[in-house]
Amino acid sequence: GESVGLHLPTLSVQEGDNSIINCAYSNSASDYFIWYKQESGKGPQFIIDIRSNMDKRQGQRVTVLLNKTVKHLSLQIAATQPGDSAVYFCAVPNTGGFKTIFGAGTRLFVKA
């Protein structure tokens, strides 16, 4: 079946440094990818998405890179701040797009 994985369960970075969170997916036909941020005790919050006709998309301090050849996407956070501490999930709609498959999540710790 379709799956989404994350390379690291936790990531610790120094405040001000850039963070890179990686994700691999299994379905080469996937054409839409989403990153969510979940703070403790809250629901996931949409950060940024990217469609398969692009390989890079930028938001405010965040960039998502998509490499369809190796079925890999990454979330880059520039100048990481304490408020960025959270669990980050990549997510991919399943075939047909009726539901979304979530990765295991990467917990980002930001050290002051």
Q: Which is nearer to another protein, 72 or 107 (CB)?
A: 107
Q: Between residues 47 and 77, which has the closer beta carbon with respect to another protein?
A: 47
Whether residue 106 contacts residue 8, with contact meaning beta carbons closer than 8 Å, is answered with yes
Residue 109 is classified by DSSP as E
Look-up of token digits 């996407």: 73
Other Cβ atoms within 10 Å of 66 Cβ, number:
21
**Of positions 2, 46, 54, 111, contacts another protein by CB under 8 A:** 46
The two beta strands, 45-51 and 106-111, are: unpaired
Q: Judged by CB, which is closer to another protein: 53, or 112?
A: 53
Task: Please say which residue, 17 or 29, places its beta carbon nearer to another protein.
Answer: 29
Identify the three-state secondary structure at position 83.
helix
Say if CB 71 and CB 24 are below 8 A apart: yes
Least Å from the CB of residue 16 to another protein: 27
The CB-of-43 to another protein minimum distance in angstroms stands at 4
Which residue among 21, 84, 105, 110 contacts another protein (CB under 8 A)?
A: 105
Q: Does 45 bind another protein (CB under 8 A)?
A: yes
